[in-house]
Amino acid sequence: MDLVLAKAMPEDKANAERAVGNVFAAAHGRLPGAGRIADIRARAFEAYERVGLPHRRVEEWKYTDLRVLMRDVLPLAQQPDAPALRRAQAAVEQSAFEPAIKLVLVDGMFASDLSDVARLGKGVDVGTLREVLETSTSDAMAGLVLSTTADAMISLNTAMATDGVVMTIAEGRVLRRPLHVIHVATASSASHFTRSYLHLGDGAHATVVESFVSAETACGYQANNVTIALVGDQASLSHLRVKADAADAVNISSEIIAVGAKAKLNLFNMIHSGAVSRYQGFVTLAGKGAELAVNGVNLLRETQHADTTLVVDHAAPNCVSRQNFRAVVDGAGRSVFQGRIIARPEAQKTDGKLTMRALLLSDQAEADNKPELEIFADDVNCGHGATSGGLDESLLFYFGSRGLSENDAQALLIQAFLGEAIEGVANENLRDFATAQTERWLKARR
Amino acid sequence: MPLLEVRNLHVCVEGREILHGLDLTVNAGEVHAIMGPNGSGKSTLSHVITGKPGYQITAGRILFKGEDLLALGPDQRAAKGIFLAFQYPVEIPGVTTMNFLRTALNAQRRARGQSGYSTPHFLKRARTVAKQLNIPQSMLKRGVNVGFSGGEKKRNEILQMALFEPVLCILDEIDSGLDIDALRIVAEGINAMRSPSRSMIVITHYQRLLNYVVPDVVHVMSKGRVVKSGDKQLALELEASGYAQFEDAA
Ligand SMILES: Nc1ncnc2c1ncn2[C@@H]1O[C@H](COP(=O)(O)OP(=O)(O)OP(=O)(O)O)[C@@H](O)[C@H]1O
Ligand SMILES: [Mg+2]
């Protein structure tokens, strides 16, 4: 068995790398930023090439083997033309909600005509990655925007990112309208890469929603998006993400967030479409007394694969983190939750909790829950729990005996189950938005 | 034609027979009490009539208005007007009582070809009935039975019975866990629903409920069969002498 693998692996890897090598070479002229930026990209690509697409023997990617699920990286999508933008607009109109300010990325390029930049208030600055990389004289800013980690998919993103939104919110500013970053795919059998940046000044309050959608007829695309966020001291950020990609799309999104002292971060992540989706968040509670609440929902059917992976690094004392994940898996879907709490030696009085629950609606449904604690401080209060199982038969009978059809009874129980995660969303409008998404999924299930 | 006719019912759970050829006939408008020792199969009978999965019916039949019930799912039986007040009502976190009641009532009405109640119409009715049963509004906003006391759960069952207006009501130990005042309120709720077109099967261990809800027929169940039937006097005799005399009969 091992022998066979040992023989098969280098060849697979070589094939995958050759494909990507071509993709990077082909894209080179379209990637913004010269000089030092071009160097950063080249080095990031080398870092990616050394390991290639993550596979099951890379611990962090154990359950989401991209060599199997993705096989190779598709060529970069063309810059969207006028018909593509028109198709994107229809998709944007479906996912937009009032009173949010739309910031639209189409096939990896910022689309100013579809965005509401003019409606931004005072103290909010929104630019594009392209502008920063092409015109910024500040190397520090460009370096930050393109900062990378050991993760191969983030390295690949650093090399390939074509555009993104760069949002800066001034100190003390309280945003009334959410910023809504909408990623739209219009091109089929192509890849796109965006890198966005959010800086929330000290004491500022903001809500940022990210939606991933596809224009009609877009299929088989690959999206790779990274967001870098800095949440200032005593700032408060609600960040909600909904992945509603085309049924056969691959979406890998990563987020690297640093949270300042006494700041509050409320994250909500929902995956309810797409063939293969992974959200990976790396959150560092960097300032004393920071608070993090993460709620995640994976909704799966058929052969969908959804992976929510979160690493919460308690790097300062007195920080609180709550991770709460719910999966509903139908058909032959596979849900993955990986949650890790790290308490560094200096992170005394860390209070970290992690809960994962999966509801399996069919015999073939699968859920892999992997909670991990890495505790290096001695005065901490950390815990985790993971369960998976089917719907409670006695509850279904109670509903049935009251006249509810099996399907309606299941829908009510599923909504109640998901409600445990959705109720953690800070803002009522966003809770309704999230609930509406689950209702859509349940309707499609009938 | 009787409203409910149970003939020679044999029921197994996990390979073990629990009902051994049970017979029971309930006519329209009648109130029947079923008494019997713990484990004699009273709740099993109520579950089989309402269609709970997990029971194998190996022989016999159950007819409701002459129609075979065993082919129908629990929701279809509910739509025909069969209602069970559970001995142990379940807790359902995350589904508010109000939402549950409205969804259930409208599902039953639609299954019968009636139109669903509008929200204001429904709310008005639910509030009126809740008030009669001394159920505070705040309880209706909570998850179904979540954190309800034993007695509150039982009152919530009667609330549902009053809202759904079933034709056959099976009340499985509705009196257990009720304090003296609650027992009276619940009994009044039950009596208010007695009518020539509605029948009830009242499962109980105690004569006290039957002082309020006076039965037309009393049955004694033992070891999976009805071993004796009589009028309300039978319940008084049981109270005095216990079940020992029926052990052999079963
Ligand atoms: N799901 C089950 N699995 C195994 N045995 C069962 C199951 N349900 C019922 N039984 C058995 O069937 C018998 C009858 O139970 P049932 O609950 O119907 O009794 P009951 O007359 O309602 O008793 P009580 O007065 O205590 O409520 C008992 O011996 C019980 O253990
Ligand atoms: Mg019982």
Shortest-distance atom of ligand 1 to CA B37: 25
Asked if pLDDT for residue A2 goes beyond 60, the answer is no
Boundary residue ending a domain (A223, A255, A287):
A287
Give the mean pLDDT of chain A. Answer: 92
- B18 Cβ inside 6 Å of ligand 1: yes
Nearest residue of chain B to residue A391 (CA atoms): B92
Q: Is B73–A406 a contact, with Cβ atoms under 8 angstroms apart?
A: yes
- B73 Cβ inside 6 Å of ligand 1: no
pLDDT single digits (tens) A85-136: 999 999 999 999 888 999 999 999 999 999 999 889 899 999 999 999 998 7
Nearest residue of chain B to residue A397 (CA atoms): B52
Model confidence at A23, pLDDT cuts 50, 70, 90, reads confident
Strands A264-271, A124-128: pairing is unpaired
The Cα-based distances of A106 to A85, A103, A184, A202 in angstroms read 7, 10, 5, 31
Neighbours of ion ligand 2 (CB under 5 A): B 42-43, 87
pLDDT single digits (tens) A254-284: 999 999 999 999 999 999 999 999 999 999 9
Residue A425 in tokens: 């969303």
- B52 Cβ inside 6 Å of ligand 1: no
Q: How many domains does chain B have?
A: 1
The Cα-based distances of B88 to B154, B167, B237 in angstroms read 9, 22, 28
Q: Averaged over A165-179, what is the pLDDT?
A: 96
pLDDT single digits (tens) A393-410: 999 999 999 999 999 999
Boundary residue ending a domain (A237, A254, A287):
A287
Give a yes or no: residue A382 inside a domain: no
Give a yes or no: residue A362 inside a domain: no
Q: For residue B182, which of B213, B157, B152 has the smallest C-alpha distance?
A: B152
- Can you tell me which residue has the tokens 């969303």? A425
Q: Cβ distance A287 to A263 under 8 Å? A: yes
Nearest residue of chain A to residue B89 (CA atoms): A398
Asked if pLDDT for residue A6 goes beyond 50, the answer is no
CATH number of the domain enclosing B76: 3.40.50.300
Instruction: Profile chain B (250 residues) by mean pLDDT over runs of 10 residues.
Output: 96 96 97 96 98 96 96 97 96 94 95 92 93 90 92 94 96 94 92 96 95 96 95 90 72
Q: Does one domain contain both A145 and A28?
A: yes
Alpha-carbon gap, residue A123 to A119, rounded angstroms: 12
| R_g (Cα) of chain B, nearest Å | 18
Alpha-carbon gap, residue B173 to B154, rounded angstroms: 9
Task: Check whether the bond before A80 is cis (ω within 30° of 0).
Answer: no
Q: How many domains does chain A have?
A: 2
Q: Averaged over A146-157, what is the pLDDT?
A: 89
Q: Averaged over A427-437, what is the pLDDT?
A: 89
- Can you tell me which residue has the tokens 């987020």? A255
Alpha-carbon gap, residue B199 to A138, rounded angstroms: 83
Lowest mean pLDDT among A46-50, A137-141, B168-172: A137-141
How does A308-334 read in b/e, with b if 16+ C-beta sit within 10 Å? Answer: bbbbbbbbbbbbbbbbbbbbbbbebbb
Strands B199-203, B217-222: pairing is unpaired
Model confidence at A139, pLDDT cuts 50, 70, 90, reads confident
Q: What is the pLDDT of residue A147?
A: 78
Q: Does one domain contain both A17 and A154?
A: yes
Count contacts between A and B (CB, < 8 Å). 72
Q: Does one domain contain both A420 and A281?
A: no
CB distance from A376 to chain B under 8 Å?
no
Q: Does one domain contain both A283 and A395?
A: no
- B56 Cβ inside 6 Å of ligand 1: no
Domain of residue A440: give its range.
391-445
Q: What is the pLDDT of residue A1?
A: 27
Asked if pLDDT for residue A238 goes beyond 60, the answer is yes
Domain of residue B39: give its range.
4-249
Selected residue with higher pLDDT from A1 and A196: A196
Residue B189 in tokens: 């709720």
| Chain A contact set for B75 (CB, 8 A) | 400-401, 403-406
Give a yes or no: residue A333 inside a domain: no
Alpha-carbon gap, residue B100 to A304, rounded angstroms: 31
Q: Is A401–B92 a contact, with Cβ atoms under 8 angstroms apart?
A: no
Asked if pLDDT for residue A3 goes beyond 50, the answer is no
CA distance B81 to chain A (A): 9
Q: What is the pLDDT of residue A19?
A: 56
Q: Is B104–A420 a contact, with Cβ atoms under 8 angstroms apart?
A: no
Q: What is the pLDDT of residue A4?
A: 33
Boundary residue ending a domain (A248, A270, A287):
A287
Selected residue with higher pLDDT from B33 and A7: B33
Alpha-carbon gap, residue A293 to A281, rounded angstroms: 13
Q: Does one domain contain both A163 and A277?
A: yes
Selected residue with higher pLDDT from A430 and A357: A357
Other beta carbons within 10 Å of B226: 20
pTM here is 0.89
For residue A166, the 8-state DSSP code is E
Q: What is the pLDDT of residue A211?
A: 96
Model confidence at A301, pLDDT cuts 50, 70, 90, reads very high
